Amino acid sequence: MSIWTNWIGNANWVSFNTNLVWDAARTVPESDRLLFDLFTTAFNENATRGQLSVNQSGQAAWSALLSGLVALTNSSTDAELNGFVTRFNPWIIDPIGTAGTNSPLYRIWQDINNTRADTNRFPGGVFRHVGDILAVPSLTTNSPFLNRSTPTQLQKGINDAVYEWLSQQVLSLLQVGELRFVVYFYG
C-alpha cells in the first residue's frame, strides 16, 4: 500500500464508515480489471475467433501471442531524467526459443502461470475474467523491458503509458473461454 500511496501522491487518512482508512486505498485499481469483461473491440462474433484463453498454460501459445509485439523500454539516463528528458525506445519481443530461459518472454510466461496458480487470489488456480491478466506483474509494473535500476528511473523514467503498453496490446487477443492448441511457427 505504501508504494501505491507514494506513486499517486495521496497518503491521506479519511474516515470511512467510522473507520480510519487510507484515502489512497479506495483508488487502487485492483477491481477495475473486471470491467474488461464488459467491453470489446470485436465488431462481430467472428472477430473473436483465434483469441487465446487467459488460462492457457502452454509456453508455445504465449510465445505465439506475444512474439513480435512491440514493448517500450525507458532509455533515458538518470542525468537526462533529472533534466526532464524522457525517452522510450521500442523493443520487438523475440520468441522464447531465441534466448531460452533468459528470454524476457520466458519470464513473462512463468509469471503468468505463477500468478494464476496463486489460489489466494484466484481460487482454483484459474483466471475468471480477461482482466485478471492485469494481475501479472511482468505485463505491467515489473515488465522485463523496463529499467527499474535506480529510484530516479522509477520516479521519473516510467509512466502509466509504459506500464500499460503490453497489456493494452494483449487484452483484445485474450478470452476466458476454453483452452485451444496453437501451432507455433516463427520464421
CA atoms of 109 and 170, how far apart (whole Å): 13
* Backbone CA torsion sign across 173, 139, 160, 20: positive
Cβ contact 143:163 at 8 Å:
yes
The dihedral formed by the CA atoms of 162, 164, 166 and 172, expressed in degrees to the nearest 10: -150
Position 13 scores a pLDDT of 52
Mean pLDDT per 10-residue run, the chain (187 residues)? 58 50 52 68 66 91 92 92 90 82 91 95 91 91 92 88 88 75 54
Q: In whole angstroms, how large is the CA radius of gyration of the chain?
A: 18
CA atoms of 67 and 79, how far apart (whole Å): 33
CA atoms within 13 A on the CB side of 113: 11
User: What's the whole-model pTM score?
Assistant: 0.75
Cβ contact 116:106 at 8 Å:
no
What are the E-state strand segments in the chain? 13-16, 19-22, 52-53, 70-74, 88-92, 174-175
Position 24 scores a pLDDT of 47
CA atoms of 124 and 87, how far apart (whole Å): 42
Cβ contact 83:164 at 8 Å:
no
Could you tell me what percentage of the chain is helix, strand and coil, using 3-state DSSP and rounding each to the nearest 5?
45, 10, 40
- Phi and psi at residue 70, to the nearest 5°: -100, 120
